[in-house]
Amino acid sequence: MSDLIRVENLRVVARSDDGHEKTIVRDVGFSIPRGEVLALIGESGSGKTTIALALMRYARKGCHISGGSIRLGDTDLMSLSQSELQSLRGRRVSYVAQSAASSFNPSMKIMSQILEATQIHRTLPRKEAEAKAVDLFRALALPNPETIGSRYPHQVSGGQLQRLMAAMALITDPELVIFDEPTTALDVTTQIDVLQAFKRVVEERGITAVYVSHDLAVVAQMADQVVVLNNGEIREMGRTEQILNAPGNDYTKQLLAAARPALRSAGNADEVEELLLSVEGLVAGYGKIGADGRPTIPILEDIDLSIKRGTTLGVIGESGSGKSTLARVIAGLVPPAAGTITLAGETLPGDLAQRTREQFSTRPTR
């Protein structure tokens, strides 16, 4: 059987506090040939992570696998005892979680945690395991591969931690690696780097993998097969090219459409002349204003923008770029260090307390 994984009729049930049971995964089945990558896609709540965890016969608190069969090679997972499961997890199947920051023990050095699986399963003596880890760091394009292991998790960036988690998963040469939305928690720019590193490693080593994601662009790059999930059920399943270019199922079509941003019809924005809000030379941040007129923690630098009456201005940026701060300054919750805000021709005082009631009510309501 060239299929590494074969899942049939998988059923997972969740039990709430008052005893009610709800089926969260229903009649799921798929198989993955050796060396291929299968993507599980769907919106949040569709059951992707539950199915991914079930491949190790693991269910989170309150859930249990109530039916179906899961085969890894020749092994029937449902028939294993607890200790046999423990020897399987981390050794034949490993898991790369969504949030690396919370998956690492904050008081253990990174290297010890990466090597832990080799110690539990006794796959390699320490020296060799360390050397292998450093190799993996290099393969994942991590900086300072020789020394990064001696740091603590909080001393390393999010993107690096995510790659370190992949190293942690690969150190025991598992048969199957499960990637559970590993780039979702990262900034867009970091995502690209991390994804490339994963892709390279998966291809080089011919790893069989399951990739959970809600991001179709990512899936297009990584996967050979795609399973589309909704509400715990499979909507459609097939090769990647087929699903992305010629989807058969309506839900799949909806997902694809949603992934392509559609331009909102501009309406009559260009016809409106009246300027409502005008911001000039805005400098703002948090903390005391220093001698140079800049706040202790500067967030916004020399911002100019204008909004016409009846129109909407979209502000986008990565986390930490200052979007919320800008909104707060305009609303008067954070006083600006420099610059002016003009509403309907009147200069607005920076502090909420100094604004009059009229200034509140002239703000455009939607």
Partner 1 sequence: MKNWYDYLGISGLVGLALALLWIFVSLTGPIIAPYGPGEIVDYEVFLPMSWEHPLGTDYLGRSVLSRIMDGARFTVGLAFAAALLAAFLGTGLGLISAVSGKALDESISRVMDALLAIPNKIFALVMIAGFGSSIPLLLLITGIAYTPGVFRIARSLAVNINQMDYVQVARARGEGRLYLACFEVLPNMIHPMLTDFGLRFVYVVLLLSSLSFLGLGVQPPNADLGSLVRENMSGLWDGAPAILAPAAAIASLTIGVNLVIDSLRGRR
Partner 2 sequence: MSTIANLFLKRLGTSMVTLLLVSAVVFLITNLLPGDPAQAMLGQAATPEVLEALRVKLGLDQPPHIRYLNWLGALLSGDPGVSLANNMPIAELVSDRLPRSLLLAGITAVVAVPFALFVGIMAAMYSGSRVDRFISSIVMFIVAVPEFLVATTAVLIFAVQLGWLSSVSYAPPDPSLSQFLATYALPVMTLCLVLIGQMARMTRSALIEQMQQPYVEMAVLKGASHSRLVLRHALPNAVGPIANAVALSLSYLMGGVVIVEVIFNYPGIASLMVDSVTNRDFPLLQVCAMLFCTGYLILVLMADVCAILSNPKLRK
**Binding footprint of partner 1 on the chain (CB under 8 A):** 17-18, 331-333, 352, 355, 357, 360
Residue closer to partner 1 by CB (options 122, 288) is 288
Assess 72 for contact with partner 2 (CB under 8 A): no
Residue closer to partner 2 by CB (options 57, 214) is 57
Residue closer to partner 1 by CB (options 264, 357) is 357
The binder of 340, among partner 2, partner 1, none, by C-beta within 5 to 8 A per type, is none
* Site track for partner 2 across 83-112, x = CB under 8 A: --xxxxxxx--xx-x-x--xxxxxxx----
How many angstroms from the chain centroid is the CA of residue 136? 22
Assess 228 for contact with partner 2 (CB under 8 A): no
Residue closer to partner 1 by CB (options 108, 327) is 327
The binder of 331, among partner 1, partner 2, none, by C-beta within 5 to 8 A per type, is partner 1
How buried is residue 149: exposed, middle or buried, by Cβ count under 10 Å (0-12/13-18/19+)? buried
CB 215 within 8 A of CB 208: no
Residues 231 and 234: their CA atoms lie apart, in Å, by 8
Assess 154 for contact with partner 2 (CB under 8 A): yes
Helices (H), 20-61: 48-54
Residues 315 and 301: their CA atoms lie apart, in Å, by 15
Which stretch in 3-11, 80-88, 265-273, 295-303 sits in contact with partner 2 by CB under 8 A? Answer: 80-88
Residue closer to partner 2 by CB (options 53, 284) is 53
The binder of 18, among partner 2, partner 1, none, by C-beta within 5 to 8 A per type, is partner 1
For 84, what's the count of Cα atoms within 13 Å in the CB-facing half-sphere? 8
Helices (H), the chain: 48-54, 82-88, 100-103, 110-121, 126-139, 158-170, 188-205, 216-222, 240-245, 250-259, 323-331, 357-361
CB 221 within 8 A of CB 195: yes
* Site track for partner 2 across 35-54, x = CB under 8 A: ------------------x-
**How many C-beta atoms surround the C-beta of residue 64 within 10 A?**
14
